[in-house]
Structures are given as structure tokens and as C-alpha cells.
Amino acid sequence: MNKDQVKGKIKEVAGEVQEHTGRMVGSTEQEAKGHAREMEGKVQKGYGDVKENVKDAAKDVKRDLNRDPLKP
């Protein structure tokens, strides 16, 4: 897990809370801001997920390159 995944998830949850709070108090402005924040968090988390997948793939390639083809 990397910092973008964590920060993104925090923004996503905070945005959801803000959106629901805005809906409860009847503030369409706060509801919209919360929704935007939630989407921003999802994008950041997705970016972090991609970074993590690339990092894992690079480790796999490096491991495969270092493996001796004559050993099982």
C-alpha cells in the first residue's frame, strides 16, 4: 500500500461524509463539494493502485530475469 492509496481513501470517505451531511442539512453546495471530494479521492486511490501494480510487475520481471534457466 502506498501513500496515494491511503490519502485517496481518506479523501473518498471524507467526501462521502461531507456529501451526506450536506444532504441532511439541505445544502446542495456542501453536497456537491462532498461528491467532488469523493471523486477526487477515488481518482487518487486509483492512481495509487496503478503505481502499486506497476511496482509489483517490475518485481516479477526482475525476479524472472535473475532466475537461472537451468534450475527448476
pTM: 0.83
The CA-atom distances, in angstroms, between 31 and each of 25, 46, 69 are 9, 23, 58
pLDDT given for residue 72 in this prediction = 61
CB atoms within 10 A of CB 36: 13
The CA-atom distances, in angstroms, between 19 and each of 13, 27, 41, 46 are 10, 9, 13, 20
pLDDT given for residue 4 in this prediction = 98
**Regions of the chain short of the pLDDT cut 70:** 71-72
pLDDT given for residue 65 in this prediction = 86
pLDDT given for residue 69 in this prediction = 73
